[in-house]
Every structure is written in structure tokens, then in C-alpha cells.
Structure 1
Amino acid sequence: MNYLNNQLNDLVKYRLSTPLGILILVCVSFFVGYLCLTINWGIGLAIAIAVVAIPFLLSLFVRIKLSIYFFIGLSIFIGIPFKLNLPFPIGLSFDFGILLTILGHLYKCGEEKDFKTTFDVPLLTPLLLWVVWNIFQIANPFASSRVAWFYVMRPYVLYPILYFITYYYFRTISDIKSLLFFLLCSCFFSAFWGDIQNVFGYFPFEMEWVYANDAKHLVYISGRWRVFGTLSSPAHFGMLVAIVIVISAVISTSYNWGRKIVLFIGICICLPALIWSGTRSGIAILVIAGALVVLTWGNVKIYIVGGIIGFLFFLLVITPSNNYHIQRIQSTFAGSKDTSYNEREENRKAIYPWVWKHPLGGGIGSTGVWGAKFSPGTMLANFAPDSGHIRILVEEGPLGLIFYLSIYVSFILYSLKYSKIWLLKDNELKVTFLTLFASLASFLVVEQVQDVNGILPFSIIIWIFLALMMRTLQLIRDYHKGNYDAKKKKENDELLDHIKMKEIKRANYEKRFKL
């Protein structure tokens, strides 16, 4: 692994930085520009992306930690190339990148002759049960299409593997905070994109995508266009910026002033984006995650501030208003008075008799859009789940839902057992744990009314968050045992040694190539 990494560094730093390498890159740039002007701008752009993407994807084989950053970024921005309808297999590239990362990790384990450490993770049993159950679904006798399984199984079989890889490579609180900051900054950009959509309207390619995919009923409600940022759904966009607001507000207390300012600006960008998305699930996430953080913090000042904010929000909810956005927020808590809520309840009650007669479910990809594509004419193809839990219940049966929920139940019980959050004095560990715990818990609740785990970026973020939280809990356990400070000092010393070694290697490389 080190040999491959060194060869890659040689290629990028010393081969392409030569006059010949620069000349080749300039020629490629002119060629791509020529294609854009004379043939088709989409083809030229696709080539430009391929020139960058293919070497980058191959680098994921040796730079495993970088791959997690890549998957987070791509899952947030993948909606842009999809809407542009580029002649480039974006979805397959995503999966290919994950496979390369897995193979690269296995190669490293083979070099070190240590495969056991990869599976030395918390919550191994419920996670494996969930993955195995989804693999078993290919043989589901009630499934009307086997092809649908190959298209839809990725978030349930392939993406959970990122849990093991993230837990393995992100071992320090600095690693975790750096990854979270990257995630937040990526989401800030997506939120800013949504703000632009509200002020100036959709970009032309976005409007074309809306009409080409018959998505107007999702983005145009009550005479208003909802924003969706770089995602493809206003609902999931609103949920994303909502959880980003909570994470930014809480975790900012553990960053330096430079990053605090960035996070504050990000919150100011995300708040209007959340409102303009018209997403009631996002408002629910904001309330649930915020309440969980306040209740579990164990600080009187936080209780007071949280109580004041909660009281002001309560007044907002109960005060009659003619403002559309305020009415949208108020409808989040209308319950049985809301027409949409009643329609969903009737839809669920109608499907329950079928579920009890089919304990294995109707097969992965048998409902919604995938059902209409691969199983047209069937009853499930016309069923819109409108809920991640209901979709799993219908497609994978009651046992599948139990396996899925057992992951959440396990992490909650594990957290309650080992965090001892009220005894934790280290603010850095506390706020990191609270943000991750509140995020995952709010996803569990909101998934009752929204499909979360089957949709990007949440199908990636959930497993990464789960791994980061388990790693943070391990650091908290070290803290309670009194080993955390010594371990942190050792890690800092190793980091300094690593920096010194890199400087020595760089000097040797420069000397070698000059000769």
C-alpha cells in the first residue's frame, strides 16, 4: 500500500509538474474546449470530468480516508450532473468508487495480515443481520422482479460497508471533527444554491429536469416553487439543511474562532433555505434534534436557553398567521388536522392486510418509482410508501423492519450504557457525540414519514455518522477510564513524527528528481 501511494505521489508531484506534463495537460484542455464549441458541450464536459474523475477514482484504492470525503461530497452534489443529463455514468462511478475503496482496504489488510480489526466494531451483529437479510431478498418468492434487486439493493448491502471503513480510519477526535466540518461546508454550498434558486429561480437545466421527470407536483405547491439546492427533492434538501443547522450550532463550541465564523455564516445561509424548501420534515428534525441536544447536555445554562427558544417556537406554532411559510411550519404539528397526514394514514392502513399475508415482503424495489419501472401493473407498483419504515415493511416484511430498527435500538442502548454524558467534562467529546446522537435519533423519528435511508445523501451519511458516533463513544470510554489524555498526547506526538517524515521524504524526492 505504501509503495502504491508513493508511486501515485511521484506521478502527480513530479511527472505532471514537468514542462512535458504541463504541455500535455494544456493540449487536453484545448481539445476539450474544441469539443464543447464544435460538437456538444455535454460531451466535452463529460471528457473533462472523466480526465479528472478516472485518476481520482483509482486513487481511492490507496487513499482510503480520502474516499470517505469523496463519497460525502459526491452524495451531496450528485444531483447537479444528473440534472445536466451528462453522458457519463455518475451512479456507476459512485458504486465503482466504493468497490475500489473496499478492495484497497482489503489490500492493506492483506499487507498487514490483519483482517480481524476491520470487524472489531460495535453493533456488528445487527448490522450483519440487516445486510444478510437484504442479500437473501434476491430469493424472495413473493418478489415480482429480480432485476429491481440489483438496482435498489446498493443502499442496503453496499453502503453499510462504509460503516466498517469509516470506523477503521477515523480514530481520533481531530479526524472526526475535520470530516464533520467538510460535510457542513459542502451542505452550506448546497444551501446557498437553494437560496439562489429562490431569489433568481431555477437554472434552465433544472427547469428542464423538472418537466422531463414530471416533478412539478413535488416542487410547486400552493403557487410557490420550492427550492432543492443540489439535491433532487425539496423534502430531503430541507431535512439536510435542518440537521446541518443543529450540528453547526452545537459543534461550533469546540472549534476555533475562524471556524466558528464559518459555521455562523453557514447557519445564516441554511435557515432561509430550510424555510424556502417548504419541508415540514426539516422543521421536525430541527425540533427533535435540538430538543435531544438540550435534554442530554446536562448543563443548566443550556436548559435555560433551550427553554426560551422552545417557548418562542411554541408561540410561533400556536399564533394564527396569514404568512405562507409560518403556516407551513405550523402544519408540521397539525397531526390529524392535516390533510396530507390523514391521506398517509389511510394509505398505510390499506396495505397492512397485505403485509401480514406476505411475511417476507414483496421484494426490494417493488414499490414506488422502481416498482412502476420493473413491476408495472402489480399492486405494489401503485403503492407510494411515503415512509422509510413503511417501505421496508412492505418490501422486506416485518422481519426486515425488525432487523433495520434493531440497528437504531442497539446504538441507542449502547450510547446510554457507555457515554455517561452527564459525567463527561471534555467539551470536545461531548458536543461531537451529542451532534451525532441527535442526528441519528432524529432520522429514526422522521423516517416514519419520509424515506431517508434509501435516498442520497442520507443513504451514505447515516452509516458514516453511525461509525463516527461509535468511534466517539470509544474515545469517551477511554476518557472515563483515564486513558484519553495519554492517548491524545501519543497521537499528537505521532502526528508530529509523521509530518517530519513527510518533510524528509519530500526533500529526498526533490533531490532525486533534480539529479
Structure 2
Amino acid sequence: MNPFERTYGQDLLKKPLPILTLFSLAIASALLIASKGIIAGIGIIAFPLGMLYVINLFLSPRIGIITIIAFSFFVTGISRYLPGTWGLMIDGLLFMMYMALFFKEFRIRLPWNNARSQLTVLVSIWFGYAMMQAVNPEAVSIEAWFYAMRGIALYQWLIIPLCFILFNRPKDMMIFFMIWGVISLLGTFKGILQMTLGVDSFEQAWLDGGGAVTHILFGKLRIFSFYSDAGQFGASQGHTGVVFGVLTLFIKNNFKLRAFFGFVAIMGLYGMLISGTRGAIAVPAMGGVMFIIVRKHIPSIVLGAMAGVAIFVFFKYTTIGNNNDQIRRMRTAFDPNDASLQVRLENQRKLSGYLASRPFGGGIGSTGNWGQRFTPHTFLANTATDSWFVAIWADMGIIGLWLHLFILFFVLITGAYNCMFKIRDDWLKGQITALVCGMAGIMLASYGNGVFGQFPTGILMYVGMVFIFLSPKWDKKIQQEKEELEQEELALAA
């Protein structure tokens, strides 16, 4: 075709209808911004970008998993700046990924069999139990069940099969670690800004609206960064410190990556310290114990035991560093007579009596924020759980608690066994060891705080679980490639 006879996009502007359409859109946008404010302007700009993202998501659904991992760090904190139910975006992304897979099935055969795993079976059983809680005779609000059930069971039931199908290569695990490391660094830097320069106007409004009750103690701010609260920030940063600390010990022949992992680990532990969250210290403590067990290395056991004793003595029997607010608050975690601990134990005694005749619990969403929102008049809503496992016990009963613990310990023991006896590749063993140690730390910390099911910790745990179960398959492939390479070298030498 003659290039001078072609019709280009700008040629449409010579016609009245396209010009009228653009003019109408401009006027409508201006009126919307004038009446609704800057939020409407942001929405107008974001709409075409959102449509482009959705198109790419349907073309490559694994983009959704990467988005969920990254967005999980900001999903609760962003509501301080833009009020809304941002958690539902996670639900929407998961739904769209399954829709994308459904439509892709018309063109290509998808590897659904990849999702066949003991882990998938376990989370399906857990999800089934959570669904049955909808008809728990003790439950008061179906709305509370819907909102709380998502974080307890729905997300892991949807995310884990997707990771087995779409996010299942060793390089995906490295992408996972890089996203985690970079955003955790941003979290610590944001926390340092809060500590040195103070909070911004939106964060101050959040504190004035009730956040100050738990985040300003004795006139000192507990740092929360862009996370939901200081407890989640501290535990998450402790989790980061453990995982990236172990990665630093295992990585070799890549100085830049080792330096990056080491820096992330140090900053993660520093973020944990400035959060003022006493329970977060359980994450590196238990993570260190798990590392010693998995390594099966006598010098590591001796050094780890000495370090553990030294840390315990420092916090329990000395007053060194008491002029530092963070150290002084951490030290109270080692005081069995601490007033906060006694209140928690008293609440657990009350719950024990109430739940003795309720083996299925009081219904999902009966405790915590959801209980206060939907059923504020009930006993469970007005009894603080202060713990992920105590909340599971209160919501889902002793049966739900034992089922939950069985699943978690099954995953943890499977991961430890893989590291100790099945995985032979050193770097792969290091990565899975890091995930196992981090999981052990979060499990212990979840007794003191409700961190397990919150963002981003829950998402990080679920994706990490998939990698734990995929690791033997990866290692087998690595060993086969090594054997083939050795055979080729022998053949060339002959």
C-alpha cells in the first residue's frame, strides 16, 4: 500500500466525532476532579493502566502472583492514605488468575497435575473445616465469618495451587526473595523516618483515631512503618532477618548478592528492634534454634547454644542498654511477672472455661477486630486473644486448633527433613533452610501475637511452603544435570 494513502491514528482527529469524544471526556474528567477531588484524578489516570495490567494478567497469569507478593506488604497500611477495603484486591487478583487459567485452557493444556501435593490436600481440608464454620451454631454473624475466613483459610487455599502451577521454578524462588528483600528494606527505612522525623499527617490521623492506644507507650512511639501495626512490622522484619541471614551464610561465589542478603538481614533485625514489639524476638530466637537442628553441625550447635545463653543472660539478668527505649521494652519479654503477660494468661483462663463446652469454637470472626465490628456485644469480641493460636482456638475450637497445628508442623517437619536428608545441592538446601527457619520463628511468635494470618507474613509463608514441597523435585533435576555434565566431561577426556 502506498504509505501516503494509509490512515494513521492522528488522522482521526480530522473528523468531528473523535474530537467531540475527546472533548467530552476532558470535560467529564475535569468536572469529576472538581467535585470528587484528587482521588478521582488518580482514578482517571489509573484506569487505563489498570486495563493494561488486566490484559497482561490474562496473557501471563503468573504476574498476579508477583503482584500479590509485593502488594501484601502495603495492603493494610495504604488504607491510612486511601481509605477502603484494599484486602479485597487480593481476592480480585486471585479470582482473575483462575479466570485467566480457565480461558487459557481453551488454547493450551495447562499442568493442573502440578498442584497435586500433600500440601494442597492439607490446605483443602483446612478450607473445608473453615467453610463448615459458617453453620457453627455458636456463630453470631455470617458477615464476620466471611471477612475473617479469607485470611484464615481462603487465601492459602487459592494461592498454594496457583504457585504449584505458575510459580514453580528455582528462579521464581529467587524472584520471591528479591521482592521480599527490597520491600523489607523500604519498610525499615520508612520506620527509621518515623523514628527520626516523626509520623506524617495521615499516620497522625490514624494514631489520633485510636492507634495511639497501642502505639504510643510512655510517650514513645512504637514504629509501624507502612505495615498494619507495630506488632506485624516487628515480626515481619524479624522474619526477614532470619531468612536473609541464613541465605547470607549459604551463598557463595556471588559477593554482590551475598552483600545484599546480609544488608537486608541486618536491616530486618534493626527494624524488629525499633518496632518495640517484644514478641518479635521469638522469631530470631526460634529461627536460630531451628537452624542449629537442621544443620546437624556440632560447631554450629555449640556456637548457637552459647549465643542463645548470652542473649538470654543479657536480657534477663543485666540492665545493659536500659537507657535505650527499644532494648528496655524487649527486656520486659523475659519478665514472667510482666503485667501484660499476666493479663494475657488471665484472658486465656477465661477462654478455657468458655470453650470447654464448645469444641468447634465460637465461630470464625467472633474475636478481635471482626468481633468488635460485627458482634461487639458478645463475650468473645470483648476478650482479647493477643495470639494467632489463641484466636484460632476461640474461633474454631480445640478441634480447629489441633488441625491447624498438625498442618503447620507437618509442613515444618517436611521442610526440615528435606534439608537434612533429601536435598544435596548446597545452595538449594540453603534457600529451603532459610524458609524453614523463618517459618519456625513465625510459628513461635504467633503464640504471642496474631502475626501468622496477617499481611505480608501470611502470603510469604504460603508461597514459601510451596517451595519447601517443590525442593526435592528441583534437587533431583539438579543432580541429574550434574551427572550428565560429568559424563560429558569424561567422554571428552576419553
Q: Same fold (TM over 0.5)?
A: yes
Q: Deviations over 1:417-450 (max 9, x none)?
A: 44434x7552211110111111112222221111
Matched residue, 1:494? none
**Contact conserved, 1:419 with 1:477, CA < 8 A, in 2?**
no
1:29 Cα deviation (Å)? 11
Matched residue, 2:202? 205
Q: CA RMSD for the aligned pairs? A: 3.1
Q: Deviations over 1:388-436 (max 9, x none)?
A: 1111111111111122112112213323544434x75522111101111
Matched residue, 2:366? 366
Note closer, same or farther for the CA distance 1:288–1:116 as it changes in structure 2 (3 Å cut).
Answer: same
Calculate percent identity across the aligned residue pairs. 22
Q: Deviations over 1:221-256 (max 9, x none)?
A: 122101111112101100111111121222134272
Counterparts of 1:436 and 1:241 in 2: how far apart (Å)? 14
Q: Deviations over 1:279-308 (max 9, x none)?
A: 112211011112312332234554465455
Note closer, same or farther for the CA distance 1:290–1:259 as it changes in structure 2 (3 Å cut).
Answer: same
Q: How does 1:273-284 map to 2 (within 5 A)?
A: 273-284=271-282
Note closer, same or farther for the CA distance 1:393–1:310 as it changes in structure 2 (3 Å cut).
Answer: closer
Matched residue, 2:332? 331
Q: Helix, strand or coil for the counterpart of 1:123?
A: helix
Matched residue, 1:266? 264
Matched residue, 1:393? 393
1:180 Cα deviation (Å)? 1.2
Note closer, same or farther for the CA distance 1:337–1:359 as it changes in structure 2 (3 Å cut).
Answer: same
Matched residue, 1:97? 93
Counterparts of 1:91 and 1:45 in 2: how far apart (Å)? 19
Counterparts of 1:313 and 1:50 in 2: how far apart (Å)? 52
Matched residue, 2:436? 437
Residue 143 (structure 2) pairs with residue 147 (structure 1): yes
One-letter code of the match for 2:56? S
Matched residue, 2:15? none
Q: Helix, strand or coil for the counterpart of 1:142?
A: coil
Counterparts of 2:92 and 2:352 in 1: how far apart (Å)? 38
Residue 44 (structure 2) pairs with residue 47 (structure 1): yes
Counterparts of 2:10 and 2:195 in 1: how far apart (Å)? 46
Q: Helix, strand or coil for the counterpart of 1:56?
A: helix
The correspondence for 1:61, drawn from 31, 39, 58, is: 58
Residue 185 (structure 2) pairs with residue 193 (structure 1): no
Note closer, same or farther for the CA distance 1:338–1:385 as it changes in structure 2 (3 Å cut).
Answer: same
**Structure 1 stretch displaced more, 160-169 or 312-321:** 312-321
Counterparts of 2:263 and 2:26 in 1: how far apart (Å)? 36
**Contact conserved, 1:80 with 1:231, CA < 8 A, in 2?**
yes
Counterparts of 1:331 and 1:132 in 2: how far apart (Å)? 40
**Contact conserved, 1:191 with 1:273, CA < 8 A, in 2?**
yes
1:194 Cα deviation (Å)? 0.8
Q: How does 1:28-427 map to 2 (within 5 A)?
A: 40-86=37-83, 90-109=86-105, 111-113=107-109, 116-160=112-156, 161-212=158-209, 214-252=210-248, 253-254=250-251, 256-299=254-297, 302-303=300-301, 306-307=304-305, 309-317=307-315, 318-321=317-320, 322-323=322-323, 324-334=325-335, 336-421=336-421, 425-427=424-426
TM-score, normalised to structure 1, is 0.81
Matched residue, 1:11? none
1:20 Cα deviation (Å)? 9.9
One-letter code of the match for 2:402? I
1:198 Cα deviation (Å)? 0.5
1:181 Cα deviation (Å)? 1.6
**Contact conserved, 1:109 with 1:115, CA < 8 A, in 2?**
no
Note closer, same or farther for the CA distance 1:234–1:155 as it changes in structure 2 (3 Å cut).
Answer: same
**Contact conserved, 2:294 with 2:419, CA < 8 A, in 1?**
no
1:121 Cα deviation (Å)? 1.7
Note closer, same or farther for the CA distance 1:43–1:367 as it changes in structure 2 (3 Å cut).
Answer: same
Counterparts of 2:232 and 2:466 in 1: how far apart (Å)? 22
1:81 Cα deviation (Å)? 2.6
1:134 Cα deviation (Å)? 0.7
5+ residue gaps, structure 2: 1-8, 13-18, 487-494
5+ residue gaps, structure 1: 1-17, 490-515
TM-score, normalised to structure 2, is 0.85
Note closer, same or farther for the CA distance 1:396–1:54 as it changes in structure 2 (3 Å cut).
Answer: farther
**Contact conserved, 1:432 with 1:472, CA < 8 A, in 2?**
no
Counterparts of 1:102 and 1:244 in 2: how far apart (Å)? 30
Matched residue, 1:8? none
**Contact conserved, 1:155 with 1:453, CA < 8 A, in 2?**
no
